Structure 1
Amino acid sequence: MLYVIPDDAGRITQANKIFEPTPEYEGQLRDAGHRFVTDPTKMIVSPDEFWVHKEKLRKRPDLSVLAPRRTIKAGGAERAVLHGVPKAALVTLTMDGVMLYQGTPGEAVCEFALPLPGLYRFTIDLWPARLFVVEFGAVA
């Protein structure tokens, strides 16, 4: 039996596979103040892929973000465009692991100038959806 302990938002904080579950184990979880759900079929779950909603383990939904062009000219003449960004989403732009932008643009269509040639990574985060990641190449 898989025991999954979520936080108040449904994020998985702990998942334990118990091959011979006992009522005592569930009692220990309750005595420790843990809210938990069980799944007899799964071996292990990734918090990147699953969450707990309405006392059930569920797959996290995907964001419907589109990036029509992944290669653009560097320098600002062209822009990296993301369509379908939820207005409350946190958008992060990095290049070589360095954060260039992080914020909530509040727009469904986001445009960013990429000033230098290189590989840029956008991540879009809005719980409970899965993290959306897309890379843009900016060429000279």
Structure 2
Amino acid sequence: MTVIVAVAVLVGVLALATVIGLLLRARTGRAVPQTGSALNTPASLNSSVADIAPPTAFGTRATLVQFSTPTCARCPATARQLDSLAAQHAGVERLEIDLAEHPHLATRFNVLQTPTVLLVDGARAVRTRFGGPPRPPELAAALDTVLTGPQESR
């Protein structure tokens, strides 16, 4: 292999890696509304999170469920962001699930990266999903939609 070919291959690999990185960055933290089986889980699993924690861990109006791991570098900042947002709204709580302690939940909820955040309504149904740290404007808009939407009777 000549030097010119080697440099061309190196430049091609770097260009491909840059394009893939930019695409992943553009998708990270975006709000993805969840409807029905949109969690990409098997049909036998629904989009309810009611069984992953005691009922007292959930907010009466909404819950921000954060899936994280001990080695996640972005999880502490995400936790602070979610805590701050939850503190601004009555009936909203943050629930953190450590996937190292509950690895079956990573499969159940198709968690491919940490943090992954699920916005859950008062009926414990997943309304919005964020892969990566949520973008603040999108998170606030999704939460406002849940908080101002029609309340289900319980």
Task: Point out the structure with max Rg over C-alpha.
Answer: 1
* TM-score (norm. length: structure 1): 0.25
Higher relative contact order (CA 8 A, sep 6+): 2
- Tell me which protein shows more strand as a share of its residues: 1
* TM-score (norm. length: structure 2): 0.24
